Amino acid sequence: MIITIDTNVVLAGLLSQNGASHQILKLVTEEKLQLALTTPIVFEYDDVLNRPEIMKMHGLVADQIKDIIDLLVLLADKYSVFYRLRPNLIDENDNLFIECAFTSNSNYLITSNIKDFTQNELKHNPFVVVTPREFYQQWRALK
């Protein structure tokens, strides 16, 4: 199963070991889920996780963040976007997750901000946009 993960899910997974986001990251590192990544998403993860106010929240240092991102890149299937889908999401930075999910044929785009992904010009996404909790509940039901 191929998934695309929004930055807010990665951050939530690093902030708490109890939530669905952490469990999803764990499934990725155990290679039970296939993470799809593009270069812009890697840059987004790096930018957000290294912001001073975010670093205070998760308590990691730059080298630890680099190691986490390196691990995700190592385990992920990497994709290049040769066209730009313009779903015209409210937050322009969210478009890169739609592009990755579409290009990779992801089954799911996992985000904590569902509403940010539902108001766009693309009406028939080949993937399902779900919250971490919804995804993890579905995952557990399949096992």
User: pLDDT for 31-85, tens place per residue?
Assistant: 999 999 999 999 999 999 999 999 999 999 999 999 999 999 999 999 998 876 6
- Evaluate whether 135 touches 20 at the Cβ level (below 8 Å): yes
Residue 105 scores a pLDDT above 70: yes
In the Cβ-directed half-sphere of 16, how many Cα atoms lie within 13 Å? Answer: 8
By percentage, how much of the chain surpasses pLDDT 90?
Answer: 73
pLDDT at residue 137 in the model: 95
> What confidence category does residue 115 fall into, taking pLDDT thresholds of 50, 70 and 90?
confident
DSSP type of residue 125: -
Which domains are assigned to the chain?
2-142 (3.40.50.1010)
Say how many residues make up the chain.
143
Give the DSSP H/E element, type plus range, for residue 111. none
Comparison of pLDDT for 123 and 73, the residue scoring more: 73
**CB burial class (10 A; 0-12, 13-18, 19+) of residue 91?**
exposed
pTM of this structure: 0.92
> What confidence category does residue 106 fall into, taking pLDDT thresholds of 50, 70 and 90?
very high
> What confidence category does residue 117 fall into, taking pLDDT thresholds of 50, 70 and 90?
confident
Partner residues linked to 110 by β-bridges: 5, 130
Q: Out of 25-29, 37-41, 90-94, which region has the weakest mean confidence (pLDDT)?
A: 90-94
